[in-house]
Amino acid sequence: MDFPFFKARRLRKNMDRLRGTLPAEPSLELPLSGEDLARCQRPVFLLPGACSRRACLLFERRLGRDGFFVWTLGVGGLSDRLRRRGIEEMAEDLRAQIDRLRAHYRLGAFALVAIGLPGLIARYYVKRLGGEQRCGALVTLGTPHHGSPHFTSGLPLGRLLSRQARQLMPMSAFIRRLKMGPFPPQVRFVSIYSRADRRHPFPCCILETDGQDNLFNLEVSAATPQEMLVRGDIYALLRREIGLGLGLPPLRARLVQNQEGADDIDPDSGVTL
């Protein structure tokens, strides 16, 4: 027989576990300390899409320890998907949120990190809505830059006919328009992808560089974009690309004491030997 106390404790644990798997919520105008304001000189905007809150918090903690300040923006998340909004509309929302934060905190150059679908939103914002004026780096993880067969197979007719699903079909009219013209040369644009990604199979996430020296493709072994966000070795790639886009010096290794008492590399520092 379960007493009410044990039932309540079990319910609280289940709710905590559920919160850790829900998509991250946006964090916009926050009360900041003096140390936080100093870190605002290295702003990073994270567009997590359907990534869990737990994965986003780990990413924010790592970048915070390396001197960055991270805002998690909800553009392209669950609510946008349920409303079936077009990518252009979501990109307009992204511009409005970033402009508001830049005005409020007087931000300089920033980096964009986008996971999955929000990578196309961020790409449209930088290329078509003037984002290149302040964005130094755009890094996407598991973003289907050519569209994806995932949006055409096994979908009910109502969703298949929605504007968002049509835009994400392989080589849709939206994808073709987005590829027209060169990408802004002052923005470092990096696509991190995996051949093990079953949702958006290779080569959906490959960028066509067209001879531009600011476009890069980095292959990793992770199977899902969420795994890309939490793995320490992939964080090292992310941190390096963000730093190169913002013109920052290479990250110094942070040493910790190992079991034998000798110095070792901190696995969360984003630096590998």
Q: Do 155 and 133 meet the contact criterion of CB atoms below 8 Å apart?
A: no
192 three-class SS: strand
Q: Do 142 and 228 meet the contact criterion of CB atoms below 8 Å apart?
A: yes
Positive or negative, the Cα torsion across 65, 69, 74, 76? negative
Residue 91 to residue 224: CA distance in whole angstroms? 24
Q: Do 256 and 263 meet the contact criterion of CB atoms below 8 Å apart?
A: yes
Confidence at residue 5, expressed as pLDDT on a 0 to 100 scale: 55
Q: Do 209 and 3 meet the contact criterion of CB atoms below 8 Å apart?
A: no
What is the full per-residue pLDDT of the chain (273 aa) written as tens digits? 455 555 566 665 554 444 443 344 444 555 455 556 555 779 999 998 877 778 888 999 999 999 899 999 988 765 665 556 789 999 999 999 999 999 888 899 999 999 988 999 999 999 999 999 999 999 999 999 999 887 665 455 545 556 777 888 888 999 999 999 999 999 999 999 999 998 889 999 999 999 999 999 999 998 788 888 889 999 999 999 999 999 988 766 554 444 444 433 444 444 432
pTM above 0.85, yes or no: no
Domain chopping of the chain, boundaries: 32-265
Confidence at residue 242, expressed as pLDDT on a 0 to 100 scale: 96
Residue 80 to residue 98: CA distance in whole angstroms? 17
Q: Do 113 and 45 meet the contact criterion of CB atoms below 8 Å apart?
A: yes
DSSP letter (8 states) at residue 251:
P
| Candidates 3.40.50.1820, 3.40.33.10, 1.10.730.10, 3.50.50.60; CATH matching 32-265 | 3.40.50.1820
Positive or negative, the Cα torsion across 42, 64, 24, 198? positive
